[in-house]
Amino acid sequence: MTLDRWLSRIPLESPSVFVKLIPTLVGFVIALGLSLIPGVVADHIPLFVGFSVTVMVGAVLLATLVPWTRFGAGWSVIVPLVAMMSIGLMRIGTGGSTSSIGVILLLPFVWIATEEGRRNIVIAALGIFLVLLGPIVVAHTPTSPADLIRAFFSPVIYAIVAAVVNEIAHRSRAQLAATRAAAQQREELLEQAVRTQDELVLNEARLKTANRLIQSIWNAVTEQSVIGTDLDGVIDVWNPGAEKMLGLTEKQVLGANRKVIEFHLVSELEDRLRDMDARFTTVAGMDDFSALVDTVRAGYADVRDWTYVRADGKQVPVQVAATPRLDENGHRVGFIFVATDMTQAREFARLKDEFVGLISHELRTPLSSILGYLELMRDDDESPLSAEQLQYLGVAERNAHRLLRLVGDLLFTAQVESGRFPIDITDAELRSVVAASIETATPVAATAGVALVSDVPDEPVEVRGDTVRLGQAVDNLVSNALKFTPAGGTVTVSLRRDGDEAVVAVTDTGIGIPAVELSQLSQRFFRASTATRNAVPGVGLGLTITKAIVTAHGGRLDIASEEGVGTSFSLRLPLETPRPVAEAVPGAETTA
């Protein structure tokens, strides 16, 4: 084995006890060789030299055979103490206090002084004191005062040196530990940086893949227009669907600082602002934009029918879902408008209305005939029916009347969609209308276990309108309230004057309606999710008919609801003579 390979196996960072003994052992061997040369040592005592060699051999055996790692670190100083004793015996055998061999005492002394712990300062100084005192104890000749002074004074100097060496070693160890810790920390940081770099590369690849996917999806949305704006309505997002629907490219819109209200009918924005009781101004800006996002600003999504105006002036009926745009902190930074072209849907609805109107007319005649023959059977005195037959006849009559009412509702909604339905404008007294509705609904309320409360003033409240149609509207509201109120709840029907309006309010403590669905309640056949979830019967025509009747009388229908708390419908009619919105058809048949 070469010297370099041998030295490479020495654990320099944490040397073993034998490795630490090697410098002392080398110095001892050199001193022993010098002592055997004739004339080099003046006073040679072979016995002490032999003892010295034996003790050093014992030190070597202790260093190599004893597993010092199993003991505490402080016990390893036994080996340098034994070596120091061996050197002391060598010193006695080679001239005592005058021997030059004593200089190698520094090697085990420094070894002890550099070990961790302040006690090693005392151990090193005490070992030196015993070794220096040895020649005086075993001397055959009188000891001089100088030898005594040297024997007691030298350990003090050695103790000071040991303290300095111990402190330097302590600081060196602390600095080495800090350096190792810093190196380990740098290594950990480097490993972490490598891992982070790998994660960044992976995340970047994932992000590119996600961006490609999102871009593909974005480009594939061509049937819906997606328009994004900032808080002021300036467009900053324009998808291919918007380009197809409105006839403008992304560059034409985003680079021109255009606003979303530019693609809306001004008349629809004005109507919406009036419905919001907002003050309309002729200045295009936030007032117009508020018509689109007022509900969204309140914290709800808004789905509403609008009309878009293309770049070529063509109008496109659309259904727009407006939602907020949020940043990473959840703060609103703009709005998103997703529009669906309703041209085909409107055409289908028109064809459906024509079909419904045709079928309704065709169904009325046979139903009326059925009811007529049923009445003849009931009134036939020559062949009277039995009690059981009368019971069956009653079931048939009730179902026939129910079908006739449904046919009437379908026919009425078809007339509403066409812009023409029959109303007969006369002087109408609302107290009697409300009282009749309450009287009709009282048995239903009692059966359902719902308290029906009337709050009607003593003085008359008169409007210009169709008494039958107004009664139909109030009946619909009261019937709905009873259906959606569980047993033990309350339905309150009130009538009051509010400025130049008469207000009929129907308030219940029922299941309520989700806020996002309030704007859709007047759509035909629409039913709230709370209604379908609770299996409340109905076809979704009552509110459509009610709103049409109120609108025809120049009034409006206000709705307020909270899911799980209840709903309030307010039917507002002008006290002065209105100009009907729908055209009255004199002498037309009234459908109940």
At residue 229, the pLDDT reads 92
Local confidence band at 281 (pLDDT 50, 70, 90 cut-offs): very low
Name the CATH superfamily for 426-574.
Histidine kinase-like ATPase, C-terminal domain (3.30.565.10)
Local confidence band at 403 (pLDDT 50, 70, 90 cut-offs): confident
Q: With left for phi above 0 and alpha for psi between -120 and 50, is residue 335 left, alpha or beta?
A: beta
**Separation in Å, CA 376 to CA 387, 392, 397:** 16, 15, 12
Domain ranges of the chain: 11-187, 222-341, 346-418, 426-574
* Segment 352-394, tens digit of pLDDT: 666 666 666 666 667 777 777 777 777 777 777 778 887 887 7
Average pLDDT, the chain: 76
User: Strand, helix or coil at 9?
Assistant: coil
The first and second tokens of residue 503, run together, are 């207000």
Find all residues with CB under 8 Å of 36, minimum gap 6, and list them.
Answer: none
At residue 591, the pLDDT reads 35
* Segment 205-216, tens digit of pLDDT: 888 887 787 777
DSSP letter string over 471-529?
HHHHHHHHHHHHHTS-TT-EEEEEEEEETTEEEEEEEE-SS---GGGGGGTTSTT---H
At residue 306, the pLDDT reads 92
At residue 4, the pLDDT reads 53
At residue 462, the pLDDT reads 85
Residue type, 8: S
Q: What is the CATH number of domain 346-418?
A: 1.10.287
pLDDT over 70, % of the chain: 76
* Segment 485-541, tens digit of pLDDT: 888 888 998 888 888 888 889 988 887 777 656 665 655 555 555 555 544 555 556
Find all residues with CB under 8 Å of 557, minimum gap 6, and list them.
Answer: 522, 543, 546, 547, 550, 551, 569, 570, 571, 572
What interhelical angle do 106-114 and 119-138 show, nearest 10?
A: 160
At residue 308, the pLDDT reads 92
At residue 358, the pLDDT reads 65
At residue 115, the pLDDT reads 79
What is the CATH architecture assignment of 222-341?
2-Layer Sandwich (3.30)
* Segment 114-154, tens digit of pLDDT: 777 777 777 877 777 777 776 666 655 455 666 666 666 67
Q: Are 320 and 385 in contact (CB under 8 A)?
A: no
For range 397-407, the mean pLDDT: 73
pLDDT > 50? residue 579: no
At residue 268, the pLDDT reads 87
**Separation in Å, CA 84 to CA 28, 91, 104, 250, 357:** 10, 10, 9, 93, 123
* Segment 6-33, tens digit of pLDDT: 444 444 444 677 887 888 788 778 877 7
* Segment 90-104, tens digit of pLDDT: 777 676 666 667 777
At residue 56, the pLDDT reads 83
Neighbours of 206 (CB within 10 A): 10
At residue 337, the pLDDT reads 92
At residue 149, the pLDDT reads 66
pLDDT > 60? residue 66: yes
Find all residues with CB under 8 Å of 461, minimum gap 6, and list them.
Answer: 429, 430, 431, 495, 496, 497, 502, 575
- The rounded distance, in Å, linking the Cα atoms of 89 and 35 is 13
DSSP code, position 566: E
For range 421-425, the mean pLDDT: 73
- The rounded distance, in Å, linking the Cα atoms of 466 and 24 is 125
At residue 348, the pLDDT reads 75
Neighbours of 258 (CB within 10 A): 17
pLDDT > 70? residue 295: yes
Q: Are 132 and 100 in contact (CB under 8 A)?
A: no
pLDDT over 90, % of the chain: 5
The reply to whether 222-341 and 426-574 are identical in fold is: no
* Segment 153-180, tens digit of pLDDT: 677 777 777 777 777 877 887 888 888 8
At residue 466, the pLDDT reads 84
At residue 365, the pLDDT reads 67
